[in-house]
Structure 1
Amino acid sequence: MRPQRNTRIGLAAVLVLLLAGCSVLPEPRPPVAYDHYTLAVAPAGQAAAVERVPLTLLLPPPRIRAELAGTRMAYRQAPGRLEFFARSRWADAPQRLLHDLLLERFTREGPYAYVVREATPASADHRLEIEVLEFVQDFTVTPSRFRVRLRWQLLDLGNRRVRLQELIEAEVPAPADSPQGGAAAAGTAVNELFERIHRRLSRELRSDA
């Protein structure tokens, strides 16, 4: 009987050790709380009353470099080196935020009578393609600046030709050297670039009249 008693004592000791071990395991880490930012759309101004041409613009989502395609907010502290804020994120991928902003402003301000975001049964007249080459807060200067660089082209879908093509950029000082300041500067930069594209398109379409 003594071997069975020793076995029971041994099993009890193992169980005690296991329970003690469980009590010292690290507690699960709480999820990281991120701050989220978006791009503010400039309020409507006089451009909202611009005369519209009876054409339809197809505006697909912009393309963007792979390393900038996620919601992480990029910054640069040294030339050629891209880093990301640890606890700050865009509310959506930058290309989608940019797309939403451009759709709202083109719909609101013309110069096209209609703007669609994807191919529809009704054929579009022109297609505006945009590629985001840079979308980053630059800390190599003081104060920091947010830099946006785009390549865009206007395609005439009826004649199947490139009608306009341009490489443009905007660099806006951040009101604070922080992700929040960078997001504010990014919104200003994107609205500025929209206005430059808008003016170019308006001049081009007026030349057809």
Structure 2
Amino acid sequence: MKNLFHALGIGILLWISGCSVISAADSTIPRTYLLDIPLPTVSSPPRHGKTLLVAVPQSAPGFDTPALVYIRTPYVLEYYTQSQWVDTPARMLLPLLVSRLEASGLFGAVLSASTSPVVGEWRLDTEIVRFQQEFLTEPSQIRLVLRVQLLDMAARQVIATGLLEIKENTPSEDAEGGVLAANQVIARALNEVVAFIEKQMQP
């Protein structure tokens, strides 16, 4: 009987040790996050027959990375080591832009430069100038600066350019809080891009 209890004790200790090893290993795996914005569906016929090509968004130096970027002091970029985006913010932004512009009903067709070889009558260029969590205030904030440019491809000229800046307080002072605020910032940015383009289409 003593041998049986001894064996059971050893087995339990090994099981607990194994769980500890697994937990320790799991804690070193970075969490991967998505930009996941609920988008409306198209509810009305297109107001214009034009075709818009959405170019692949660009990123300023330091932001073309899946890492979550934050700053604690001005001019110094830092990156979370245990949290990251599933892809670069610029690449994640492209399908969101296409879907939001399709739902706006502004165009006869909205094309993505990543999948369509067709050149649209108009083209939208965007660049992420800043997309970072800023620990310069309390609570911290997510700050997005997005440069937008609308071009008439037939006339080969720039229709309009703009610089959108959006900030959102984070619900917690960590990467997860930054991700939640980042999704809200992107949702607001998509609406502002639509409003920017709609203004250019007014007679």
TM-score range, shorter chain: 0.7 to 0.9
**Relative to structure 2, which stretch is displaced further, 186-195 or 163-172?**
186-195
Within 1, Cα distance between the matches of 2:45 and 2:167? 27
Aligned equivalent of 2:82? 87
Matched, 1:114 2:105: no
Amino acid at match of 2:63: L
Counterparts in 2 of 1:195 and 1:65: CA distance versus 1, 3 Å: same
1:73 paired to 2:36: no
Gaps of 5+ in 1: 1-28
Instruction: Tell me the alpha carbon deviations over residues 157-189 of structure 1, each in whole angstroms, 9 at most, x when there is no partner.
Output: 011100010111100111111111111111111
Pick the aligned partner of 1:133 from 118, 121, 129: 129
Give the counterpart of 1:151 among 144, 147, 151.
147
Q: Could you tell me which of 179, 185, 190 is aligned with 2:181?
A: 185
RMSD after superposition:
2.1
Deviations 1:111-157 (A, max 9, x none): 11211112845441101000110010001111010000011110000
Match of 2:18 in 1: none
Aligned residues: 178
Partner of residue 156 from structure 2, selected from 157, 160, 174: 160
Measure, in 1, the Cα distance between the counterparts of 2:29 and 2:186.
27
**Conservation of the 8 A alpha-carbon contact between 1:153 and 1:164:** yes
Q: Which residue of 2 aligns with 1:96?
A: 91
Aligned partner of 2:54 in structure 1 is 59
For structure 2, the residue ranges without an aligned partner over 5 or more in a row are 1-23
2:158 is paired with a residue whose SS is strand
Change (3 A) 1:60 1:43: closer
Q: Specify the code of the residue in structure 2 equivalent to 1:161.
A: Q
TM-score (norm 1): 0.78
Which structure: larger Rg? 1
Aligned partners of 1:164 and 1:48: how far apart in 2?
A: 27
Tell me by how many angstroms 1:108 deviates.
Answer: 2.2
What is the match of residue 194 of structure 1? 190
Q: Residue by residue, what CA displacement relative to the aligned partner does 1:87-107 show, whole Å, maximum 9, x if unpaired? A: 000011111111121122112
Shift in Å at residue 48 of structure 1? 4.7
Give 3-state SS (helix, strand or coil) of 1:168's partner: strand
Identity %: 26
CA distance in 2, matches of 1:110, 1:38: 26
CA distance change for structure 1 residues 161 and 76 in 2, over 3 Å: closer, same or farther? same
The TM-score, its normalising length taken from structure 2, stands at 0.80
Please say if residues 57 and 125 of structure 1, whose CA atoms lie closer than 8 Å, have aligned partners that are also in contact.
yes
Q: Is the 8 A contact 2:39 2:99 kept in 1?
A: no
Q: Mean Cα displacement is larger for which, 174-183 or 102-111?
A: 102-111
